[in-house]
Amino acid sequence: MSEDTKAGRGDALRALFPVAKPIIGMIHAMPTPGSPRGRHCDVAAVYDHGVEEARRLLDGGVDGILIENAGDVPFQRPEKIGHETIAVMAVLGRKIFEAVAVPVGFNIVANAAMASIACAKAAGARFVRVNQWANAYVANEGLIEGAAADALRYRARIDADDVVVFADAHVKHGAHAIVADRPIVEQARDVAFFQADVAVATGLRTGDSAELAEIEQVREGSRLPTIVGSGVNPDNAAEILAVADGAIVGVSFKDSGEMWATTNIDRVRRLMDTVVALR
């Protein structure tokens, strides 16, 4: 394997974000049609909420935005996600893309890599996050297999090679008993070998801080730019960003510290002030 393959497609993180330690703000979208909480969905309200959240994040100073269909809990396996969900998310992404001047990405859950790439292509987004890219794990949705082989072929087929893949190396919200005989360093190496562009390290669940040792193991194994996907806040940002190349932040920006709450601009600014001082 060549050094270029080991390192991904150059430094994809720096190509997306021309700053050190970029912070990507999360938009937890309202329930979409077809989901349990979206039965009487007002689609216009979904769009308005997403755009307003994006503007709040941008006003707070984030460097990028990641959109997730978080309101669709309990999440379905990738092959069962309805066309209606993908359609609404793609339109939401386009509206956000047109409202902000930072890179936008998608994470259609659970692990719907091809749906995320399709939304990115339709909306003009620049990146996707895929929670299980290589190997397999036992999630709340059942057995979730790595998406890389099908997703990369799909990305090529729809001429979306410019869409960057952020891939979790040891994904939250699940058990890793299937690969328990392989250390995190090796699992991270698999993510890079399967041609992800950026590696993601997380805690055990949304809002849970990743351990420094795990971040370092993901970096060591993948040799990719490595960001943290959960748990970063103003109190731990300096420590975490000393070893990580950036972060995806959602819950700590919210009014009540809960995923469903409104983004608090002052909370965003507080973290961004800390991050800017580290750059």
In degrees rounded to 5, what are phi and psi of residue 87? -65, -45
pLDDT one digit per residue (tens) for the chain, 279 residues:
334 434 457 799 999 999 999 999 999 999 999 999 998 999 999 999 999 999 999 999 999 999 999 999 999 999 999 999 999 999 999 999 999 999 999 999 999 999 999 999 999 999 999 999 999 988 989 999 999 999 999 999 999 999 999 999 987 557 767 878 889 999 999 999 999 999 999 865 555 577 899 999 999 999 999 999 989 999 999 999 999 999 999 999 999 888 999 999 999 999 999 999 999
Q: Are 233 and 252 in contact (CB under 8 A)?
A: yes
Measuring CA to CA, how many Å separate 14 from each of 82, 103, 189, 198? 34, 12, 20, 10
In degrees rounded to 5, what are phi and psi of residue 31? -55, 140
* Fold for the domain defined by 22-273: TIM Barrel (3.20.20)
CA nearest 25: which of 259, 253, 211?
253
> Does residue 74 have a cis peptide bond before it, meaning omega lies within 30 degrees of 0?
yes
Angle between helix axes 265-278 and 43-60 (nearest 10 degrees) is 40
C-alpha torsion 4→163→260→168, nearest 10 = -20
pTM over 0.85: yes
* Cα–Cα dist 262/49, whole Å: 9
DSSP 254: B
Residue 202's pLDDT is: 87
Query: Token pair for residue 15?
Result: 């190509």
Through-space distance between the first and last CA atoms of the chain, rounded to whole angstroms: 33
β-strand partners of 67: 27, 106
> Does residue 110 have a cis peptide bond before it, meaning omega lies within 30 degrees of 0?
yes
* Cα–Cα dist 80/173, whole Å: 19
Residue 237's pLDDT is: 96
CA nearest 171: which of 118, 212, 218, 117?
218
Residue 176's pLDDT is: 66
Question: Where do the structural domains in the chain lie, given as residue ranges?
Answer: 22-273
